[in-house]
Structure 1
């Protein structure tokens, strides 16, 4: 092999080594930029507003309409969808209850691991369907612990906010008035996969 061929081979090997390092370190650089810019794959994003810090309801003992105490009982791994409508909520609450009933039914076999807690008596138009809607007696302290509970939405998106409470009693997600029920279903279905 001549000196010219050996220099050519050496330069080609160096370029290849530099290209490998560039690809290797470049992927770390791109990953770091994406990570610190806040980008996340759409499959990992939640649709509801993640509450930071989550509201702690563990010390509160909600009372059901029949007078019994509703226990958080984290061992059962039960997730809760909480609705705290204002007293004068009528047609919007009937529609919301219907949407939540559809969402609850779509959980299928996991539906037993989701309780729907309705603060106060549901409006007269709410049909008793298959949803495990549990009516809670009005509790000002519990209502006050829900972030922006009295935000009735804007003129374009009126309604009632909905909350997701984890098995331990922490309010972790909030859905603004007028939210898409499919978003609630997607988020809670992901949470149900956590064991």
Structure 2
């Protein structure tokens, strides 16, 4: 005679529910990343994209000084898609070009604007306040000319030269550094990548 199946212990059921919740949270972002990059479902001939950072690098959570008594919170690069530029606070022509591209790219996202933020990591000479206030309202700023900033900078590709390369970086809502855009990358590439990632992922 078969014995009746035993019911799962309450602890087992609780763990199973936690695993299901974790899976539901991470699955959309993982699926978006796999579909877009791992399975190469990008349209053929569409080469004007950023350079994928493989594997993605999880950025450390460090609080950075900004200007005056302001701070960039340790979790500032979590919760939203982040476009990040690293450079001198005097903001030369490449810096202004990159910050403007980031601003215009975000504005072009329409209803998805709240899901994306812009971050300027300043390596020194902070900052051209008049220009930033006039042209880039809402830009998050953090100074990396300090020990905490160096800890963050060390996780970027070519860390020793990162502040002089003029790149724009893309960070996902979980704090993973995943793409970089060189100064000569087609400007529409950043917008096209972001649109596809936002469409595929409901995280952030």
Cα RMSD of the aligned pairs, angstroms, is 3.0
Q: Which of the residues 164, 170, 187 maps onto 1:164?
A: 170
Most deviating of 47-56 and 128-137: 128-137
What does residue 32 of structure 1 align with?
none
Match of 1:144 among 126, 144, 154: 154
2:18 equivalent in structure 1? none
User: With CA pairs under 8 Å and 6+ residues apart, which has the higher RCO, 1 or 2?
Assistant: 2
Q: Is the 8 A contact 1:85 1:119 kept in 2?
A: yes
**CA deviation string 1:149-171 (max 9, x = no partner):** 52689xxxxx6011100111110
Q: Which has the larger radius of gyration?
A: 1
Does 2:71 align with 1:67?
yes
SS in 2 for 1:128: helix
Show the counterpart of 1:35: none
**Partner of residue 30, structure 1:** none
Alignment of 1:17-32 (within 5 A): none
Aligned-residue offset at 1:187: 0.4
Contact 2:82 2:170 in 1 (8 A): yes
The whole-number CA distance in structure 2 between the counterparts of 1:87 and 1:53 is 30
CA contact (8 A) 1:73 1:167 kept: yes
What pairs up with 1:115-154 in 2 under 5 angstroms? 115-120=117-122, 121=126, 123=128, 125-126=131-132, 128-129=134-135, 132-138=138-144, 139-149=149-159, 150=161
* CA-CA distance at 1:140 after TM superposition: 1.2
TM-score by length of 2: 0.62
Matches within 5 A, 1:58-97: 59-63=60-64, 65=66, 66-71=70-75, 76=79, 78-86=80-88, 89-97=91-99
